[in-house]
Amino acid sequence: MFQLLPDVAFQAKALAALLALVLAGSAVRAKLLKGNPRLPLPPGPPGHWLLGNALPRVNQSQQFAAWINQYGPVISLRIGPKIMIIIGRYRESVDIMEKEGGALADRPRSVAAGEILSRGLRMILAPAGEQFRRLRR
């Protein structure tokens, strides 16, 4: 009878390991099949897998100009969890603003400052739209 107990414990551990392996494999497979739901980003320099691209402390404009010459007029950088899109040529910036002006007219939403502290009554923090027009009057 004492011989059965180690076998049962080993079988339980093996079953748990097999179950974990199957779950991990299905998660990886689902992620690969699903793909990336976001739109593709413009090309840009490769960055660190965790930190992203390190911006130079001096002569940033020269580094941006070198990246724009290498990757094109619109580049993307990842700074930590944030994604930065840089438009490096005047003509491309005018084209983007003419075509996508409505989407670019707003600023990021600030919940703490804009909604909780000021109760949505600060014009500088208000999103573009009807509320902004009312506050402007």
Query: Given this model, what pLDDT does residue 2 score?
Result: 52
Query: Cβ distance 86 to 68 under 8 Å?
Result: yes
Q: pLDDT digit string (tens) for 20-35?
A: 999 888 888 777 666 6
Query: Given this model, what pLDDT does residue 124 score?
Result: 66
CA 24 – CA 110 distance, rounded (Å): 37
CA 109 – CA 106 distance, rounded (Å): 9
Q: pLDDT digit string (tens) for 39-89?
A: 888 999 988 877 888 888 888 899 999 999 999 999 999 888 888 889 999
Could you tell me the two tokens for 14? Answer: 């093996």
Is pLDDT at 4 greater than 70 in this prediction? no
Residue 73 DSSP symbol:
S
Higher per-residue confidence, 119 vs 17: 17
Is pLDDT at 104 greater than 60 in this prediction? yes
Q: Indicate the pLDDT class of residue 5, thresholds 50, 70 and 90.
A: low
